[in-house]
Structure 1
Amino acid sequence: MLTWINEKAKWVIVIFAAGIAIGLLAMDRVPDQGRSYPIGIVNDTKISYTDFDSRVKMIVQNQYQNQHLDDEQYSQLRAQVFSSFVRQALFAEQYEKAELSASVAELKNEFKRNSDAVRARLVQEAQAHLYAIQQQATSQEDLIQRSQAYLSSLPKFLTDTTFNKADYDAWIETPAAYRWNSMLMLEDEMKNNTIPARQLQTLVGASVHPTSLEAKWSVERRMTDYELQVAVAPSSAFVVDSNSVDSVMVAGYFNAHIDSFFVKNDAAQFQYVSLPVEATAADDASIREYAMTLYYQLTDSSSATTFEDMARVSSEDPGSAEKGGILSEDFVGRGTYVKPFEDAAFALDSGKISEPVRSQFGYHIIKSYGNVKNAKGEVEKVKVGHILLTVTASSNTIDSLEKILTNIKKDVDAGSDLLTEAQARGLEVKTSEWVSRDGNIAAFGYLKGLASFAWPNENLPKEESEISGVLRNNKWVVIAKKVGAFKAGERSLALYYNDIKETLLKQKAGKAAEVYLNSVAAQVKAWNPADTAAKIEKIELETKNASVDGFVPGFGYGNAQIARVVGKAKAGEWTAPVVAENGAVMVKVVSKKTPSVEEVEDAIKQDVENSYRFGVMTAFNDYVTTLEASTPVKSNLDLFYRD
């Protein structure tokens, strides 16, 4: 039976994979009654499931070439597609409000500006038409006659070996151009999206007016170079006791800067119990047994299966499987492969196949394609192929892990508590960091179903249990309990507590660095850069040429504090210590080089042009971001998908 399965493996795998795909889709979707709802609502505009699903499938087909995507990739893709529909709906509303529309002249100009894209679509449509003629032809003569007739009807610029732009532009002006389906689709896309979007960007960008005065300030700031001597007492050298910042200090800082600590996205915190998904000894033995089955078949003289065919079907090394298992086109020496694999490969005679060899990657069945020996008859190089079978947790192993967590959930639902039930099984309850709606628990990465559990759709029946179902990825099985939540827009001390404490500790370290730098200021002022052996304990000494927009030790890159410190400094004198981004700093301006008037004037012209382009782009991006943030959007993705 196993021999038959392996010899028919390609068909078995195709059928099995199709079954898995259907099963996964069924698992991923909630019951069909959810499909009476739109996939989302933007203001009053509904996003249909059909349109959404079609776009997802189109992207998978065109962008991913129908390759397999894992759960996390699908979740991210659906989120991106949903965002694109939201933006599309928002833009449509703005086009209507601003009465933006594409004129005939704009459409024709757009076609003329994008001749390559238009021609590509026309060629695709023409090829499809020729294929249809081929399918419908009743004879070879009929095929030739109809094909020639169709080709003669095509515009000249499509059939000429050299593209004639003048012919193309003239064709765009004729009614014949708009009898093509691809042209009608492009026209619709340009009329409803491309051109109105450009008009909207121009409208928003009309408020951008960079001035030569602003450009002059920026240019002189950027083009003025300073020769500096810098002494830094890094904050990292001054350890501050964590207990020196208490909850009262953190709360005081929070209240003083409360508008800096609003919740940007919905967030939740979880208690969880987890188990790693790891292969057991039984799983290892099972994979080895299967590897031996393949080995016996490959070495069975009555079997028609070749090593190369078996590798293409069975090997789990994607890089070599498509090559029939061959690892290298050339002979390779020792040190190329891991030790267990290398020992077996160098011991094989040409054409021979090894029994399964265990390495950290799994079990390898190795075939030798020859070797090179030295004068002593020792093998120096080999050319080999392999079939790799990775050792992973079996479904039985995963089921047993999930059963442990399911039983904990049942006992908690019956009235016990999570900590008691976890400890009774020798497991630990941990608390996660705050996790946003589109984020992950850092310890696990993506867990399918976590977001649906934490933020259930209001149209779904309310879940009675406070414990999630078993959440899993390929490394972990987890159950979780939501122990805290914040909505976007709220102010939260709890969410930012650790960040505020770190800020206060950093400030204390900076102050300690400043006090220390003051105590050794005389040594700093006596420092001679020519003396390469000169050192001051805990102080980093460096010479640096930079503008105030560049990198200066202690301050970092483009820090506004650099300009203030350097601007007040007297040439040839050290400044007093100041607390900066990365510690306490003293600076001496040795020299200053300013640009010439001509250099400034040339740079101002370029800056004004760049500032306008960048300003328009920034203004439009800010406009879109604000528009999205201020619009009520209802997502029903979890009515159709588990996440």
Structure 2
Amino acid sequence: MFEGMRRHASWIVLVIAGAFILSMAIGGITTIFTKTESLGVIAGEKISFENYRTILENAFANYARQNPDGKLDDEQAKKLNNETWDQIIQEILLSREIKARRIKVTQEDILGKVKEPTEDIETMTDFQTDGEFDINLYFTALEENPDFFNYIERRIKGSLPYEKLYDNVKAEIVLTEEDVKQQYADANNKANADIIYFEANKMKVNATDSLMKIYYEANKEDFKKGPARKLKYVKLVLEASEEDKQTSKAKADSIFKVVSSGMDFAEAAKELSEGPSADKGGDLGYFAKERMVTEFSDAAFSMKNGEISQPVLTRFGWHIIKVYDRKTNEESGAEEVKASHILIKNEPSEATIANLEIVATDLFQTAKKDGLEKASETFSYEVSETDEFYEDSKYIKGIGSEEALLKFAFSKKVGKISEPLKDRSGNYFVTEISFKIGDHYQDFEAQKKSIKLKTEKQLKSEKVEALAQDFIKIHKPSDFLTAAKKLDWKIIEAADITIGGTIEGLRKNDDLKSAILAGKVGENTELISDENGAYIAVIKNRELPDLEKFETEKETLLKEAQEKEETKHLNDWWRELRNNAKIEDNRKNYYSL
């Protein structure tokens, strides 16, 4: 029984996993980057390439074992790589927390847990009598099978410290009966109301330069920024060369000859197509003309049933199309074609990829001597410049999310050239630090577009509030709804308004909800304004919380509320722990991610 629980990877699985990892590596674990001492650093703990590769090999082997018929393609490989990295981060950070909180696991703790079998153990047929879990069979196995006992003990030793940590974190949340009673009251204090919405966006305003400058000076602290940098950069795009395209075309021509000579089209698609429908024999089902790219549709809809097309070029590559049937869609009346295709992509070859690396290296070496501008002139490349970015920026405009460049930009001097950076798509960037500034206010002219939008928003808000004030002066409260309809102001019929909920058609406004819930049926709220407009609510219905019902259900409500808050707190705690951890990820220097 216990032997059946052990799943050893065969040497074939391990070899396949290792080979695939090597195929992921950039240039067989060699790159134009200067190798760092470690593949990464997590909270001060260095992760060596060798250790990471071993862990990754195990992850690939486990995947291959669990998915013997599954396809391990590039996307799945990248996903496994990222999941493995995340697991290492989690293990290191949580282990540190366990140590910091002095969490210990005693033998008594372990033996106590041994007596509480987990769900996967309870569902094993070895421990069931008449289809139900039999605890006595489980205890007998523990007593008579030392291997099984040791297996269970190892599992508990591995998981119990983390369970104790989570319990420790969740114990930080203590909800009182008053807390839960207030939550219950808030959730069950409801109202229906007709809300007159004086919408600011309906206003016409003119944000002149003088008004924008007034806004800028009045809100100058909003434009205060920390240290910033800019980069000049050359982007070397990885794309198929003419030779690569000719090779793809020749391959497509050869496949066309084979399928035209009688080879089963579906079998050929399964073996040769590089498209996502390959597993289905290239089957695309029925489709209307506008569903496909123009070149593909033009070819497919001009063909007869049973006909096979010459290779058709689209932005996806070369397609050999076979049409099987056509019909008229009963609902739309549009003609539809049933077809399959074999796709041969126009992708860069290994030689093209290697050549781009050489070009990037040459540009980098020349730029180090002459500067990026002059080097780009020599190689006939276009130089672009990023917008200002900051040390905590997640994205550099024109380049993307690149931690290595952020670190480079904020640790080097103006004029420094970065080593070529390869992004996830295989493109290369060679960059030069072109601008450096400390704490500063963003320039009015540079921010003029956003200042104009903000000034206009403020002017609209002020204008619509003035109109709403005039509306109140002119009309009787009992006539508000009728008058608002005549003046074409929006009326929102809101139901089941609660303090924690949303009102459909409106942005969040707690003041408005509070005013409605404080009123009585038939009353109007005072005028309430925010940056989106002004509001008057006519209260139509009120539903007050049944506190007697709370008393009868409070034990269940207390338990549910405590569990909900504990889960939220645990998630927030982990998010903060992860976000605050210093993590250096250099995997892209070793793997194609």
Question: Normalising by structure 1, what TM-score?
Answer: 0.67
**1:272 counterpart residue number:** 233
Pairs within 5 Å for 1:432-471: 432=387, 434=389, 439-441=394-396, 443=398, 445=400, 450-455=402-407, 465-469=416-420, 471=422
* Cα distance per residue 1:544-596 (max 9 Å; x no partner): 22122222367635x43235433665764544433336333223334433133
Indicate the residue corresponding to 1:227 in structure 2.
192
| Shift, 1:228, TM fit | 1.8
Matching of residue 67 in structure 1 with residue 73 in structure 2: yes
Are 1:107 and 1:191, in contact at CA under 8 Å, matched by a contact in 2?
Answer: no
CA contact (8 A) 2:422 2:429 kept: yes
Task: Select 2:95's aligned residue among 85, 89, 98.
Answer: 89
CA shift digits 1:49-101 (9 cap, x unpaired) = 5553333333344458533238975774454234223224323414xx53421
For residue 196 of structure 1, what is the aligned residue in structure 2? 161
CA contact (8 A) 2:233 2:384 kept: yes
Whether the 8 Å contact between 1:278 and 1:393 is mirrored in structure 2 is: yes
Q: Are 1:55 and 2:55 counterparts?
A: yes
The one-letter code of the counterpart of 1:534 is K
State the SS of the aligned residue for 2:485.
coil
Of 507, 511, 514, which residue of structure 2 is paired with 1:561?
Answer: 511
Please tell me the residue identity of whatever aligns with 2:104: L
Which residue is 1:7 aligned to?
A: none
1:229 touches 1:544 (CA, 8 Å); kept in 2? yes
Match of 2:318 among 363, 374, 377: 363
Q: List per-residue Cα deviations over 1:442-468 (Å, max 9, x = no partner).
A: 55656xxx433432699x999995244
Q: Which residue of 2 aligns with 1:612?
A: 562
Bigger drift between 395-404 and 61-70 goes to: 395-404
Q: Determine if contact 1:554/1:583 at 8 Å carries over to the other structure.
A: no
Whether the aligned pair in 2 keeps the contact of 1:452 and 1:638 (CA below 8 Å) is: no
Letter in 2 for 1:293: S
State the Cα distance separating 1:409 from its structure 2 match: 4.7
SS in 2 for 1:209: coil
Kept in 2, the 8 Å contact 1:29–1:642? The answer is: no
CA separation of 1:70/1:443 partners in 2, compared to 1, >3 Å: closer, same or farther? Answer: farther
Q: Deviations over 1:344-371 (max 9, x none)?
A: 5566667654322344543322345678
Aligned match for 1:386, one of 337, 341, 345? 341
Contact 1:366/1:385 (<8 A) preserved: yes
The percent of aligned pairs where both chains have the same amino acid is 18
Paired residue type of 2:551? E
Root-mean-square deviation over aligned CA pairs = 5.3
SS in structure 2 at match of 1:551? coil
Q: Which of 423, 430, 438 is the equivalent residue of 1:479?
A: 430
Q: What is the distance in 1 between the residues matched to 2:570 and 2:362?
A: 53
C-alpha distance in structure 2 between counterparts of 1:75 and 1:484, whole Å: 35
The one-letter amino acid of 1:356's match is P
Match of 1:179 among 126, 144, 147: 147
Are residue 549 (structure 1) and residue 510 (structure 2) matched?
A: no
Query: Could you tell me whether the CA contact under 8 Å between 1:340 and 1:359 is conserved in 2?
Result: yes
Distance 1:408 1:315, change over 3 A: same
Matched AA of 1:81: Q
SS, match of residue 163 in structure 2 = helix
Q: Is the 8 A contact 1:102 1:196 kept in 2?
A: no
- Aligned with residue 117 of structure 2, among 113, 116, 126: 113
Partners of 2:478 and 2:347 lie apart in 1 by 62
- Cα distance, 1:510–1:532 mapped onto 2, change above 3 Å: closer
1-side partners of 2:85 and 2:436: how far apart? Answer: 22
Alpha carbons 1:272, 1:432 under 8 Å: kept: no
AA matched with 1:323: K
> Cα gap change, 1:173/1:60 in structure 2, threshold over 3 Å: closer, same or farther?
closer
Q: 1:471 to 1:311 in 2, by over 3 A?
A: same
- Contact 1:235 1:513 (8 Å CA) reproduced: yes
Secondary structure at 2:516 match in 1:
helix
2:417–2:430 Cα contact (<8 Å) kept: no
Inter-partner Cα distance in structure 1 for 2:256 and 2:340? 14
Indicate whether 1:310 and 2:271 are aligned.
no
- The CA deviation at 1:210 is 1.6
Q: Deviations over 1:269-292 (max 9, x none)?
A: 544344665668776565434322
* CA deviation after TM superposition for structure 1 residue 209, in Å: 2.6
Q: Is the 8 A contact 1:242 1:505 kept in 2?
A: no
Tell me the amino acid that sits aligned with residue 195 of structure 1: L
Letter of the 1:294 partner, please give it: I
Q: Distance in 2 between matches of 1:33 and 1:429?
A: 25
For 1:276 and 1:169, locate their aligned partners in 2 and report how far apart those are by CA, in whole Å: 61
CA 1:492–1:631: 2 relative to 1, 3 Å = farther
Rounded Cα–Cα distance in structure 1 between residues aligned with 2:96 and 2:189: 45
Q: 2:279 aligns with which of 322, 325, 339?
A: 322
Indicate if the aligned counterparts of 1:470 and 1:477 stay in contact, CA closer than 8 A. yes
Residue deviations 1:281-322 (CA, integer Å, cap 9, x gap): 776565434322332344458xxx654443223212221x22
Query: What is the TM-score when the length of structure 2 is the normalising length?
Result: 0.72
Which residues of structure 1 form unaligned runs of 5+? 1-14, 121-155, 256-260, 374-379
Counterpart amino acid of 2:515?
V
After superposition, the C-alpha distances for 1:460-487 in whole angstroms (9 at most, x for unaligned) are 999995244154454855433345789x
2:137 to 146, 149, 168: 168
User: Residues 227 and 412 from structure 1, CA distance in 2 versus in 1: closer, same or farther, beyond 3 angstroms?
Assistant: same
Structure 1 residue identity aligned to 2:249 = R
Q: Unaligned 5+ residue runs, structure 2?
A: 1-15, 329-334
Partner deviation per Cα, 1:192-239 (whole Å, 9 max, x = no partner): 4x2222223333433433222222333222212223221223343345
Q: Counterpart in 2 of 1:431? A: 386
- How far, CA to CA, are the matches of 1:281 and 1:173 in structure 2? 68
3-state SS of the aligned residue for 1:233?
strand
